[in-house]
A = this chain, B = another copy of it.
Amino acid sequence: MSVEMLMDIHEIKSLGYQFADAANRKDYTTFASLWADDGVWDIGEPISIRFNGLAEIKPGIEKMLSLWDFFCQMPHAPIIHINGNTATSRWTMHEIARRADQKEGNFNLALYEDKLKKIAGKWVYKLRMYESIYVDYSKLPGQAFQLPKTNT
């Protein structure tokens, strides 16, 4: 393995970490910066929504995150394959969220299957496919907190 390969792997992992971190903090600007302009975000069963291009992804993430009084995505076990300026990644995802209206929970386990492209030296998502493993809508009885505004 070359040092360049190790750096590419690091950057592709970082992309997945930034995706979760931006979603958890409702940082829509960072979230949008992780995608190719023509990127596709495909969320499978039971939600079954597909966003084509940043023009759909940007309002899509804002609408989805506005549903929750808290949302927390936790990515695990990145599996990365690089082939020149294209790559794939797969993650085991755990998300815990709660609807602001009825306090219905979303306790989710899933895989993300991704295609990436290196454009002008920066890895971005061409495709993220969310494949559910387990979804539990039981009510979540705990207390949610408002995060302070951060800059970093």
Query: For the complex formed by this chain, how many copies does it contain in all?
Result: 3
Interface string of A80-97 (1 = CB under 8 A from B): 010000001010101010
Binds B, one of A33-41, A55-63, A67-75: A67-75
Chain B residues with Cβ below 8 Å from A17 are: 76-79
Tell me, in angstroms, the Cα distance from A30 to B133 when the chains sit together.
20
Cβ of A111 within 8 Å of any chain B Cβ, yes or no, is: yes
Interface string of A89-111 (1 = CB under 8 A from B): 01010101010000000010101
Q: How large is the interface on A (under 10, 10 to 19, 20 to 34, 35 or more residues)?
A: 35 or more
Residue of B nearest to A94 (CB): B74
CB-based contact B136/A90 at 8 Å: no
Partner of A81 from B9, B74, B109, B152 at Cβ < 8 Å: B152
CB-based contact A74/B74 at 8 Å: yes
Cβ of A150 within 8 Å of any chain B Cβ, yes or no, is: yes
Cβ of A29 within 8 Å of any chain B Cβ, yes or no, is: no
CB distance from A113 to the nearest CB of B (A): 6
CB-based contact B74/A76 at 8 Å: yes
Cβ of A64 within 8 Å of any chain B Cβ, yes or no, is: no
